[in-house]
């Protein structure tokens, strides 16, 4: 499972010109699920993201997590994070999970965040979405559950 995390002042998702989710200060999590991912990947990644100390304390140091600052989280599925560009110019997405595998893992990821006390909004799975954000910092971090978290 891969994620691109962005610390944001605000973010929103539109589907067919209508806003389906919107957050204020917090995290935008673009989430890509691989066909070999399991529940453990969702749990490990969710805990890592919520507890990343990427918000500033009173001294201006990145020392606080989204949980500590009561930040919101917008989770958007993005299978293109699993793109393989090793051959040719057209990305291959063969490592991306099918919807039958990805949807339950995506939902489990969101449930873990909600259970921890995060205010979580989501995009619309398998929809063509317009994601807009104001990156705060900027802070952008790439995580992979198959690598050391």
126 is catalytic: no
Output the DSSP codes for 23-86: ESSEEEEEEE-BTT--HHHHHHHHHHHHH---EE-TTS-EEE-HHHHT-EEEEEE-GGGG-B-S
93 is annotated as an active-site residue: no
Q: Which of 6, 55, 79, 122 is catalytic?
A: 79
| 140 is known as an active-site residue | no
Q: Which of 80, 94, 125, 140 is an active site residue?
A: 80
Distances 145 to 25, 111, 112 between C-alpha atoms, Å:
25, 17, 15
Which of 6, 19, 55, 78 does the annotation list as catalytic? 78
* Alpha-carbon gap, residue 23 to 13, rounded angstroms: 9
Residues carrying an active site annotation: 78-80
């Amino acid at each position: 499972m891969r994620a691109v995390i962005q610390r944001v002042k605000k973010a929103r998702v539109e589907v067919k010109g209508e806003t389906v989710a919107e957050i204020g200060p917090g995290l935008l999590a673009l989430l890509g699920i691989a066909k070999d991912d399991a529940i453990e990947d969702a749990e490990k990644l969710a805990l890592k993201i919520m507890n990343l100390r990427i918000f500033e304390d009173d001294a201006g140091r990145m020392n606080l997590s989204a949980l500590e600052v009561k930040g919101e989280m917008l989770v958007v599925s993005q299978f293109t994070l699993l793109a393989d560009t090793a051959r040719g110019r057209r990305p291959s997405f063969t490592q991306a999970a099918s919807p039958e595998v990805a949807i339950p893992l995506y939902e489990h990821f969101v449930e873990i965040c909600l259970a921890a006390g995060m205010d979580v909004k989501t995009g619309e799975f398998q929809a063509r979405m317009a994601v807009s954000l104001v990156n705060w910092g900027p802070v952008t971090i790439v995580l992979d559950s198959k690598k050391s978290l």
